[in-house]
Amino acid sequence: MKTFNVPVIYRSPLISAIKNQRKQQDRMKKDFTPTELDFGPLRILLARHFGFCYGVENAIEIAFKTVDENPDKRIFLLSEMIHNPHVNNDLLDRGVQFIMDTSGNQLVPWESLQPDDIVIIPAFGTTLETEQQLASLGIEPLKYNTTCPFVERVWNKADQIGKKNYTVIVHGKPKHEETRATFSHSASGTPTIVVKDIKEAALLAEFITGQRKPDEFNALFKGQYSPGFNPATDLQRVGVVNQTTMLATETQAIADYIRQVMMTHFQLTEATAGERFADTRDTLCYATNDNQTAVTGMLQESADLAIVVGGYNSSNTSHLVELCEEKLPTYFISSPEKMLSAKAINHWDFHHKEEINAGSFLPEKEKVTILLTSGASCPDALVEGVIRRLLSFYQLEHKADEMAIID
């Protein structure tokens, strides 16, 4: 796989040494057991896969190269480059401006942009409407495009099944940038609807089977379907694609559920299921799969708690937290500094969208075991920082330097 020129501030000698060692031992990526870092009183189990994915590194390389090569131009990002505050703040510090926030609210008026301004499309991609807006201002919309190739693959799959007269069901968070972009591209060619979870999929199924009347549709799915969507006619043939950072098992559960509903309602067999349901399971992102599977493997081990590092508005990171929370106390932090001491930590409650303080997060026992992972937009340097911070509570920070020279 291609390697990228990512700023050294995001790299980590310690994490690179660990990842390289695991890669040598497991080139086919079939071993999802964690890496054990035993420091005596502190034992850290590091997930097999975590941190920057292909799409994130690609976006960072393009963005920083663009800044370096255009010192005399105004440079804008449509919205956050990725969902990591450290990377976004570094770009802001270098003069980059965000046109919109992550919810699509305008921060810089369109009319203030000029044809010679540079506008970078972030890794999530953007809507066709935004591309048209940029073009109308004389700005070439795709000249500085960092859209993740795996997101584009979802768009291509939606386009393929749309051309075969299937309606596209997008599993995603309706307000997320990537979901809005996928919805826009899909809706341009075929009826499209977004479902955020299995509960909404079950509601949609009631329109497929006729259990609910079409006039109830707008109230239940307002703002989540393409113009002119008719549940009476547009749910006869469907396929499921996803926001690539969703929980992979949930996307598959939704696809399996909708497929079974179609088979039962239309009295199909396995051989004829394709007449009503398009198989699109290959839209799941490799990094999402790998990171989530690595967490599942990590959770097979006994531990006292889990720490997940990443941006608080990061979808893929929140799903790693979700997995860990099912098994043990879990702390979602954006940086090492959130661990104030061995007895206090500020962590994000993504269910209620607030940062809370917890006391005595490290148990007082002879040996503490911690599961550690990070999201796909989190720099390895932050993960190393978390390890060093934890070691400092045991006066063992020097152990990190010794480990960084692993062959």
pLDDT of residue 282: 65
Sign of the Cα pseudo-torsion (223, 224, 229, 231, in order): negative
- Neighbouring residues of 322: CB distance < 8 A, sequence distance ≥ 6: 247
- CATH (one of 3.40.1010.20, 3.90.600.10, 1.10.340.30, 3.10.129.10) for 8-53+287-403: 3.40.1010.20
What does the angle CA 62 – CA 245 – CA 22 come to, to the nearest 5 degrees?
75
Rounded to 10°, the helix 286-298/54-69 angle is 130
What distance in Å separates the CA atoms of residue 71 and residue 295, rounded to the nearest whole number? 42
Q: State yes or no: is 250 an active-site residue.
A: no
Q: Of 137, 145, 135, which is closest to residue 58 (Cα–Cα)?
A: 145
Q: Are the beta carbons of 321 and 245 closer than 8 angstroms?
A: no
- For residue 44, give the H/E element and its range: strand 42-46
The string of DSSP codes covering 170-183 is EES-TTSHHHHHHH
Which residues in the chain land under pLDDT 50? Answer: 407
Any idea of the CA torsion for 167, 172, 174, 179, to the nearest 10 degrees? -80
Sign of the Cα pseudo-torsion (300, 350, 375, 335, in order): negative
Look up the CATH number of domain 54-136. 3.40.50.11270
What distance in Å separates the CA atoms of residue 189 and residue 179, rounded to the nearest whole number? 16
Q: Would you list the domain boundaries of the chain?
A: 8-53+287-403, 54-136, 149-283
Q: Are the beta carbons of 69 and 393 closer than 8 angstroms?
A: no
Q: Are the beta carbons of 400 and 74 closer than 8 angstroms?
A: no
- CATH (one of 3.90.1300.10, 3.80.10.10, 3.30.110.60, 3.40.1010.20) for 149-283: 3.40.1010.20
What's the residue count for the chain? 407
Q: Residues 332-345: pLDDT tens digits? A: 999 999 999 999 99
How many CB atoms are closer than 10 A to CB 227? 7
What distance in Å separates the CA atoms of residue 201 and residue 258, rounded to the nearest whole number? 7
What distance in Å separates the CA atoms of residue 195 and residue 221, rounded to the nearest whole number? 8
pLDDT of residue 407: 43
Beta-ladder partners of 169? 193, 240
pLDDT of residue 405: 60
How many CB atoms are closer than 10 A to CB 269? 8
One-letter amino acid at 27 equals R
- Neighbouring residues of 367: CB distance < 8 A, sequence distance ≥ 6: 40, 41, 42, 43
**Max CA separation in the chain (angstroms):** 66
Beta-ladder partners of 269? none
φ, ψ of residue 238 to 5 degrees: the values are -140, 160
Q: Are the beta carbons of 378 and 363 closer than 8 angstroms?
A: no
For 185-229, give the secondary structure using H, E and C.
HHHCCCCEEEECCHHHHHHHHHHHCCCCCHHHHHHHHCCCECCCC
**Residue of 178, 200, 322, 384 with catalytic role:** 178
User: What is the model's pTM?
Assistant: 0.92
